């Protein structure tokens, strides 16, 4: 594979990972915290409804998990394409 083809494949994979993170972020923060909150408000977790929990704590926890997943996945991708630090 040429350098240009390899570089294009690397960036396509990188952008795909970023879009996955953005989709999860949007689903959790806007979806569960705002849009779908009335649908999940009857489920109780930690003394409050699930919609409130996602808006206040769940989205933050998911963001932290996303950060670690992104770093892990990008390190793996860097090794795969030989561009690790």
Are 25 and 63 a contacting pair, CB within 8 Å?
Answer: yes
Residue 2's pLDDT band (cuts 50, 70, 90): low
CA diameter of the chain = 57
The region that residue 46 occupies, defined by phi over 0 for left and psi between -120 and 50 for alpha, beta otherwise, is left
The span from the CA of 59 to the CA of 25, in Å, is: 8
Q: Please state the pTM of the whole predicted model.
A: 0.79
The per-residue pLDDT for range 22-48, each reduced to its tens digit, is 999 999 888 888 888 888 888 887 788
The span from the CA of 71 to the CA of 13, in Å, is: 14
pLDDT of residue 51: 83
pLDDT at 7 > cutoff 80: yes
């Amino acid at each position: 594979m040429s350098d240009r083809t390899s570089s294009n494949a690397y960036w396509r994979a990188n952008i795909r990972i970023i879009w996955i993170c953005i989709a999860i972020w949007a689903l959790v923060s806007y979806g569960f915290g705002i849009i779908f909150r009335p649908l999940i408000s009857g489920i109780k977790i930690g003394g409050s409804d699930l919609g409130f929990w996602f808006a206040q704590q769940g989205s933050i926890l998911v963001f932290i998990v996303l950060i670690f997943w992104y770093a892990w996945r990008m390190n793996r991708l860097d090794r795969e394409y030989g561009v690790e630090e």
